[in-house]
Amino acid sequence: MRQSSLVVVANRLPIDDSVAPDGACEWRRSPGGLVSALHPLLRHTPATWVGWAGGTGPAPSLPDIGSVRMRTVPLSGEDFRDHYEGFANSTLWPLYHDAVEQPEYHRRWWEAYQRVNQRFAEATAEAAEQGAVVWVQDYHLQLVPGLLRELRPDLRIGFFLHVPFPPPELFMQLPRRAELLRGMLGADLIGFQRAQAAHNFAQLVAKVLELPATDRRIGVDDRVVRIGAFPVSIDTAEMAALAARPDVVARAQRLRHDLGDPGHVILSVDRMDYTKGIEQRLKAYSELLASGHVKVRDTVLVQVAVPSRERVTQYQILRDRVEREVGRINGEFGRVGEPAIHYLTQPFDRAELAALYRVADVMAVTPLRDGMNLVAKEYVAARVDDTGSLLLSEFAGSAAELPQAYLVNPHDLEGLKQGLLSALEADPADVTPRMRAMREHLHRNDIRAWARSYLSALDDGGSLLTHLAPTG
Ligand code: ADP
Ligand code: G6P
């Protein structure tokens, strides 16, 4: 087996299998923030990506993507149910997102989590060269740093959490909280999206494990584990270039025409997830239609909601409720050929997403809690002419970096309605400087800046940066 000096470990590989119209199997980039962040970064970098290809049963053998070797880890039907759908997405995901849905705790799920983490650690140990850098990603794999350190003490191990890390009073609910914290502490550097998350982690380590901990350093046995905030980003230049491409500009014009050339287009793009605040947003929109503040002929809402984690009950309930509400709103306020909401559940390629971003006068990103939210950043990057208003939840990690957005509390229905109206009615003299400031911020703080700052911290300013290819 060929080995690499840089190994990224993430539950999901950057590609999903899907069936082409002619019935053949084809691969496409999987929707989701982690893949969107890491895929452009690694495309030109010699590395191995250890992950799951979706589906159950034996691991398919995948072709390399650019310079990245794919090392698949298989999940059985039981692993899929108890690790992926269970511990990862029905225990940790809701717990880490403010418990906006009730987390569930089952001993069988914890056993599967340990088993699958062990399998990932073993696959990584095989794929890593002597002294390699290993970068473990996200909440599915919190035990991997500790397991890997036991197998391969020669490795330099980083861990990055893409989702929020909750305050102690929530995390303390977890029956196996000490083991999870210990697993993460196998890393040399633990990265979070926000400083508050690093603070929460340090407090928990001090309380649960009784280790000396500050918001920057934790003493574990004879090692020091560093922790800190590294807000993830996007390939800003790539999205800007895509949005400026003549075919994308033409597609955006066509879309606007097909939408009936309305005065205002509002866009939302989410995975169908209860953390995204889709129901609250629909309620706000419905009330604005009912009160006449928004009129169907003048304004359209395009809601893209790609299905996610479809067998998990909470996701099924959400989808049913969203679809019922969209149907109700269209039935009540739409006209023939003029729906109030254009509702799309398909995955789109990057060019189609860029065209949608170009068409949107207002982008509504209103999650109840979100580690970062890259959709908000993609929208800003695509607004190359400095037009467009971003309506953004205070509870998205990106709000800390984009204060020029129209910030709202999505739990406050009146505030949400007012924010939407302010964004819709904004004076261009106000919109342009806001958008310019946000775009400039994202050009300075793009995905490569994120990787540079993380990897140089992992190496204490040393030579790890040479692992990254010079162009993204
Ligand atoms: P999350 O990580 O929770 O899914 P983010 O907003 O951080 O949320 O990232 C979502 C990513 O998935 C973005 O890069 C976005 O472009 C992509 N995405 C969302 N919806 C679709 C879709 N319908 N088709 C293709 N990509 C999508
Ligand atoms: C979020 C998580 C990622 C995950 C993505 C898509 O971005 O942080 O780890 O890959 O959602 O979710 P999925 O369950 O389809 O992998």
What is the Cα–Cα distance from 291 to 284, expressed in whole angstroms? 11
What is the Cα–Cα distance from 134 to 125, expressed in whole angstroms? 9
DSSP per residue, 88-122: IIIIIHHHHTTTSS-----HHHHHHHHHHHHHHHH
What is the Cα–Cα distance from 392 to 5, expressed in whole angstroms? 39
- pLDDT at residue number 37: 85
Q: Residue 8: CB partners within 8 Å, gap ≥ 6? A: 38, 42, 47, 48, 49, 50, 134, 135, 137
In 3D space, the residue among 45, 50, 40 whose CA is nearest the CA of residue 239 turns out to be 40
DSSP per residue, 38-97: HHHHHTTS-EEEEEE-SSSSSPPP---BTTEEEEE----HHHIIIIIIIIIIIIIHHHHT
Q: Is 249 helix (H, G, I), strand (E, B) or coil?
A: helix
What are the φ/ψ torsions at residue 56 (nearest 5 degrees)? -125, 165
- pLDDT at residue number 66: 80
User: Quick check: CB of 447 below 6 Å from ligand 1?
Assistant: no
Q: Is the pLDDT of residue 214 over 80?
A: yes
User: Quick check: CB of 97 below 6 Å from ligand 2?
Assistant: no
CA of 290 to the centre of ligand 1 (A): 30
CA of 304 to the centre of ligand 1 (A): 10
Whole-prediction pTM: 0.96
What is the Cα–Cα distance from 43 to 472, expressed in whole angstroms? 7
Ligand 1 pocket test, pick from 275, 353, 380 with the greatest ligand atom count within 8 Å of Cβ, gives 353
Q: Give the pLDDT band of residue 403 (cuts 50, 70, 90).
A: very high
Q: Say whether 162 is catalytic.
A: yes
Q: Which ligand is nearest to the CA of 162?
A: 2
* Counts of helices then strands in the chain (DSSP H, E): 17, 16
**pLDDT per residue over 61-99, tens digit each?**
888 888 889 999 999 999 999 999 999 999 999 999 999
- pLDDT at residue number 24: 52
What are the φ/ψ torsions at residue 221 (nearest 5 degrees)? 50, -125
The predicted model gives 406-423 an average pLDDT of 98
What is the Cα–Cα distance from 275 to 277, expressed in whole angstroms? 6
Q: Is 351 helix (H, G, I), strand (E, B) or coil?
A: helix
Q: Say whether 83 is catalytic.
A: no
Burial class (CB in 10 A: 0-12, 13-18, 19+), 46: middle
The predicted model gives 379-396 an average pLDDT of 98
Taking the chain, what is the end-to-end CA distance rounded to the nearest angstrom?
27
Q: Is the pLDDT of residue 472 over 60?
A: no
Q: Give the C-alpha distances (Å, rounded to integers) separating 257 from 125, 158, 365.
A: 54, 48, 24
- pLDDT at residue number 3: 87
CA of 30 to the centre of ligand 2 (A): 9
Q: Which ligand is nearest to the CA of 374?
A: 1
CA of 339 to the centre of ligand 2 (A): 31
pLDDT, averaged across the chain: 94
Selecting among 79, 270, 370, 446, the annotated active-site residue is 370
Which domains does the chain possess?
4-232+447-460 (3.40.50.2000), 237-443 (3.40.50.2000)
- Report which secondary-structure segment, H or E, holds 365: strand 362-365
- pLDDT at residue number 231: 98
Amino acid type, 224 = V
**pLDDT per residue over 16-58, tens digit each?**
665 455 555 555 677 788 888 888 888 778 899 999 988 899 8
Q: Is 130 helix (H, G, I), strand (E, B) or coil?
A: strand
- Report which secondary-structure segment, H or E, holds 16: strand 15-19
What is the Cα–Cα distance from 378 to 234, expressed in whole angstroms? 7
Nearest residue (CA) to ligand 2, atom 3: 34
Ligand 2 atom at minimum distance from 162 CA? 8
Amino acid type, 58 = P
Tokens matching residue 167: 């305050």
Q: Which ligand is nearest to the CA of 271?
A: 1
What is the Cα–Cα distance from 106 to 458, expressed in whole angstroms? 35
User: Quick check: CB of 308 below 6 Å from ligand 2?
Assistant: yes
What is the Cα–Cα distance from 325 to 319, expressed in whole angstroms? 10
Selecting among 39, 83, 97, 162, the annotated active-site residue is 162
